[in-house]
Amino acid sequence: MSDRKQVDERYYQLLHELQALDFVLVELSLYLNTHRDDMNAVQQFNEYSARRWQVACEFEAHYGPLLQFGHSYSGYPWQWPETPWPWQV
């Protein structure tokens, strides 16, 4: 197997993992918007955010920049409903 083929496989592996992590983060965000006192869900969100950051850094180091999602941690309780929201600033 050539080096180029291995690089291409890793590229797609990382993209697939990023897509899966993004899906989990969106679902947890939606859940936490209505269950902001669920400490386990906040911890899961933060763990998946950290993993997403690690995978994105690996991807970007080898293949270039990505759009970001899930790079922010949340305190407890869930902080998203707090104002101002990013687009209000």
The pLDDT tens digits of the residues spanning 49-76 come to 999 999 988 888 887 766 555 555 556 7
d(CA 76, CA 89): 23
d(CA 24, CA 78): 16
- Does 6 score more than 70 pLDDT? no
Contact assessment for residue 33 and residue 80, using Cβ atoms and an 8 Å cutoff: yes
**Predicted structure pTM score:** 0.70
| Averaged pLDDT, 26-35 | 96
Lowest mean pLDDT among 7-11, 23-27, 45-49, 73-77: 73-77
Domain boundary assignment for the chain: 3-88
